[in-house]
Chain A
Amino acid sequence: MFVQQLVNGLMLGGAYALVAIGYTLIFGVLNLLHLAHGDVFMVGAYVGLALALAGFPPWATLGGAMLAAAALGVVVERVAFRPVRSRGSHVTPLMTTIAVGLVLQHVVVKIFGAEPVAFPAPFAAASLALGPVTLSTLQLLILGTSVALMALLELFLRSTPTGMAIRATAENPTIAGLMGINVSLAIVITFAIASALAGAAGVLLAWNFTGLSPFFGVKVGLKGLAIMLLGGLGNVTGAMVGGLVVGVVEALSVGYLDSSYRDAFAFAVMILILLVRPTGLLGARLQSG
């Protein structure tokens, strides 16, 4: 039972981590919160749904959702962040992104309806018994995809020139600009990557929960925010670890307590850790926002 919940938690946590990494990348380069990120995630899942219903194979569903979400992320940056980056306080982008989120939710309601819809399974899942633990091939696919995406991201940030430009922008945008880095481009690329990861997480979680609704992004988005805080703002590795921690805690709470408490656990863990370590699990510097 314990090991089983641990495995379920890791799978859930991997997908949460993808959402949280998006938040943390964007926070890293802009020092601003993107409150429509959960809705970008949701739109990604719906694009995946449309592709799956049109008969595309699972890899195309996932890839299409990632591309669509990346494009949407770039649009959100253009309309909700760039115009208020230099003027207004750090509260203004909270408001513009709430407005964008509202628009995205209701555009999806207009197209797909407000009711939750079923998401077709990518394939007939077989289950593998490993001693006391049962793993479904679907779970393996979800976990494998999120781990692979995280590894690719880590590689990209560490060893490509673009990744380095993003890290330099996160460190200090002014100096990065002086060093010849195109800061605006780095920000756009960051949004594209963060949103693509959210789109992937959307499809993975829709596979896991076998359904989605236009308001599905709000809850997962909040969880992603909590995980970002947990790991330390702007810290990609922290978001990965935080995602797994929250996924496991949540799965254990579902296994041992009432499942209606599950949504509170991410926040309970977050608040507890913040009280002990206000900069997050792996955070080093205190951001004053």
Chain B
Amino acid sequence: MLSDHAVSILIFAGIDVIMALSFFLPASAGQLSAGQGGFMALGAYTSAYLSVHHQTPFPLALAAGGLVGGLVGLAVGFPALRLRGLYLVLVTFGFGEMVRVFFLNAPAFGGPAGFAGIPPATTIWYVLGLLVVLVYFFTRVSGSRMGRAFAALRDDEAAAEAMGVNSTYVKLAAFAAGGVMAGLGGALYAHYTLYIDPEAFGVGRSLFVMLYAVFGGLASFWGAVAGATILSILPELLRWVKDWREILYGLLVLIMMLVRPQGLLDAALLARLSARGERAAARG
């Protein structure tokens, strides 16, 4: 079987994929959020608090993390309704930063010293199980009424509204669902690292989550899956360059974004892949 080290890489990669998907969902409705780290923090701290202080069973604590992420997502969604594009990016940045400062100043959650003593509960099966559920969810959503409403809002909000899409409802749903996913990701993270501090969920985290999804391409949720997997395993592959690792990583991401500004899996590549898949299915 896999070594402990390999399992830990897989678990972190899986959590990164969950986070990238949590960014992708609102992004597929045209709502770019740069505050996913904030939702992750909420999920992580909620579940950790319940586990440590109330001995809540892990599945319940996990669900509570997702629930809090979703509720706050809904609350953030309301003011976000008035904002678009880069304004929204910046306000969600601000949201993430405020969550970080909140936990930094909350003695009940350990403040700057962090929150330790979280019982180990996250296993690779939890992560894979959640990923399977999410992939199923996204494949179902993309062709559904809701999925088409997302795409319509992203492409042209005025036209979508004229066609009868309730933009308020759809945007709030997208934000809340993204918040649930990030909250779940945070809860899984907390019960794997067993120690969390506010800095783990700062701006850097939010930016990386965004980078994963955009690197993979925003044309389909598979882009977020591919982007997060590649970029979270890449540092392992770059071990041999030692302390040049971050510099090389940054350069590789830069070159890749210059070569494929639409991300790894853009619409053209997806169409080619799915045509090949259909031909294979027709032959089989």
Report which A residues bind B (CB closer than 8 A).
27, 33, 35, 79-80, 83-84, 87-92, 94-96, 98-103, 105-107, 109-110, 218, 222, 225-226, 229, 233, 258, 260-261, 263-264, 267-268, 270-271, 274-275, 278, 286-289
Contact = CB atoms under 8 A, between A and B. Distances in A.
Interface stretch (B122-130, B133-141, B252-260): B252-260
A263 B97 contact: yes
A171 B33 CA distance: 28
Main secondary structure of the interface of B (DSSP, over half): helix
Interface of B: 32, 79, 82-91, 93-95, 97-98, 101-102, 104-105, 112, 203-204, 207, 210-211, 214-215, 218, 243-244, 246-247, 249-251, 253-254, 257-258, 261-262
A274 B257 contact: no
Contacts of B98: 264, 267-268, 271
Contacts of B251: 99, 103
Contacts of A98: 207, 211, 253
Contacts of B207: 35, 98
Contacts of A226: 90, 93-94
A204 to B, nearest CB: 23
Contacts of A83: 258
Contact of A90 (B85, B203, B257): B85
A96 B32 CA distance: 17
Contacts of B101: 260-261, 263-264
B94 A92 contact: no
A81 to B, nearest CB: 11
B254 A99 contact: yes
Nearest to A101: B250
A99 B257 contact: yes
Contact of B249 (A102, A109, A271, A275): A102
B243 A110 contact: yes
A264 B97 contact: yes
A263 B253 CA distance: 29
Contacts of B262: 87-89, 92
A222 B97 CA distance: 9
Given A84-B257, A99-B257, A225-B93, A288 B82 contact: no
B203 A274 contact: no
Q: Nearest 10 CB-CB pairs, A to B?
A: A289-B85, A88-B261, A267-B94, A102-B250, A103-B250, A264-B101, A99-B254, A289-B86, A106-B246, A99-B253
11 contacts: A87-B261, A87-B262, A96-B254, A99-B250, A103-B251, A226-B94, A260-B105, A267-B95, A270-B90, A289-B87, A289-B89
A94 B214 contact: yes
Given A83-B258, A95-B214, A225-B93, A260 B85 contact: no
Contacts of A261: 101, 105
Contacts of B258: 79, 83-84, 96
B32 A91 contact: yes
Contacts of A109: 246
